Amino acid sequence: MPSSSSSSAPNSRVRALRVWSTKDYALAAFIFLVLFSLLLLSHFDPSANPSHSTTTTLVPFTLLRHTRALCLDGSAPAYHFHKGFGSGSRNWLIHTEGGGWCNSISSCSQRKFTHLGSSKYMEKLIPFSGILSPDPSQNPDFFNWNKVKIRYCDGASFAGHPESERASGLFFRGQAIWDAIMNELLSIGLSTAKQALLSGCSAGGLATLIHCDNFRQLLPKEATVKCLADAGFFLDEMDISGNRTMGSFYHDVVQLQGLAESLHKDCITKMEPSKCLFPSEIVKNMKTPLFLVHPAYDFWQIRNILVPQGSDPEGHWQNCRLNIRNCNANMMDKLDRHGGASLTDGGDEGKEFAQQPLLFMSCCTYPQLLLPLEQTIAESVGDWYFDREVVKRIDCSSYSCNPTCHNLDFT
């Protein structure tokens, strides 16, 4: 264990085990259902006239039949594929789903009974929205590309290895899932791609960072290949009680599922492997062009890194955690120093973040790529990918200064 998790590590680790509690899963499910309901109303069938149709496009999932690639519970992993057309028929946009991580036998066993650990609980049909949308008015640059959403059911950002399974009754096959799905996509047209974009949100954004250079190597040398991570720049910072909860949590994830083998070799020879799971270390070794979309007030990081369960026993932060408008001046100062200022003004993590092409928005939200895309996001991603301009857009400095934000309120 590195020195950063010194004497406070036991308490920190106990707290880390609770990062994704039953309450968090319920909250995530509620958010998904709300977004799903909204998105059903906003999509259409691309086989019809795209300028007039309002029919929802629901994309079925494909189960991956592979003896080695398995979800946590041993079921087959899955992906959703929507075929490209016209000028986009040889272009590919692949999106990796997010959903946190599990860092213990207990927490991984709980995930077995959700869509985050088993394809048995996944929706068979999902709407493609945001950057996956076939609507040219919402997604002007990528609407007619081949689009894939890879479902997340391994609990370790597609980076676990079976050597760590032991007698747990769980399957740690994240890396095998990634490899098998890539092989299947290569067989149905990805191998001849002219342009490709690998994207992901949250834990899927971290997966994008981990696998970005490998994705580049799989495709033709003449292809344009880039990567995009949305709300995937997780911070190795102290929580309000002075513990490095996220550092301890990542340590347990790496140890439990054997992630070191999927992390950059130069990094793990220099430091404890769990440090190499943080984006600030991953991007130091990346060669493929990368774009970051990130909210200044990332609600997941506020609730799980800055103010995790157990760090606020007297409940001073409870109302603030539910709605950022309830935070007092002292709390807002801590929020600014945790997210906004730390990523744009200083610190090693901030330096690595600010060196990338990025869109940094002053919002209290979480992944935005699968929501109906705001014009700023759609234009920024397209401008960056197609080299129309150098994109380095940092939003206004204070919370609520951007009226376009989808700020979350859990009160």
The mean per-residue pLDDT over the stretch 97-122 comes to: 97
Choice among 49-58, 211-220, 262-271, 280-289 with the minimum mean pLDDT: 49-58
Task: Name, of 49-63, 149-163, 362-376, the range with top average pLDDT.
Answer: 149-163
What is residue 350's three-state secondary structure? helix
User: Would you say residue 246 has pLDDT above 80?
Assistant: yes
**What is the structure's pLDDT at 67?**
83
pLDDT, the chain, mean: 83
Q: Which residue has the higher pLDDT, 238 or 22?
A: 238
**pLDDT tens digits for range 268-315:** 999 999 999 999 999 999 999 999 988 877 878 888 889 998 999 999
**Distance between CA atoms of 379 and 370, rounded to whole angstroms?**
15
Mean pLDDT computed over 241-250 = 94
Mean pLDDT of 376-396: 83
pLDDT higher than 70, residue 211 = yes
Q: Worst-scoring range by mean pLDDT, 36-40, 193-197, 333-337?
A: 36-40
Average pLDDT over residues 196-210: 97
pLDDT digits (tens, 9 = 90+) for 329-339: 899 888 877 76
- How confident is residue 11, by pLDDT bands cut at 50, 70 and 90? very low
* CB contact at 8 A, 276 and 282: yes
Q: Whole-prediction pTM value?
A: 0.82
Characterize 247-279 residue by residue with b for buried, 16 or more Cβ atoms within 10 angstroms of its Cβ, and e for exposed. bbbbbbbbebbbbbebbbeebbeeebbbbbbbb
Going by pLDDT thresholds of 50, 70 and 90, the confidence category of residue 46 is: very low
User: Is the per-residue pLDDT at 189 higher than 60?
Assistant: yes
Residues in the chain: 411
pLDDT of residue 353: 72
- HSE-CB at 85 with a 13 A cutoff on CA atoms is 11
> Helices 203-218 and 174-187 sit at what angle, rounded to 10 degrees?
50
Structural domains of the chain in order of their starting residue, each with its CATH number = 3-394 (3.40.50)
The region of weakest confidence among 254-263, 324-333, 374-383 is 374-383
Q: Which two tokens stand for residue 139?
A: 């997604």
pLDDT tier at 20 (50, 70, 90 boundaries)? very low
For residue 94, pLDDT beyond 90: yes
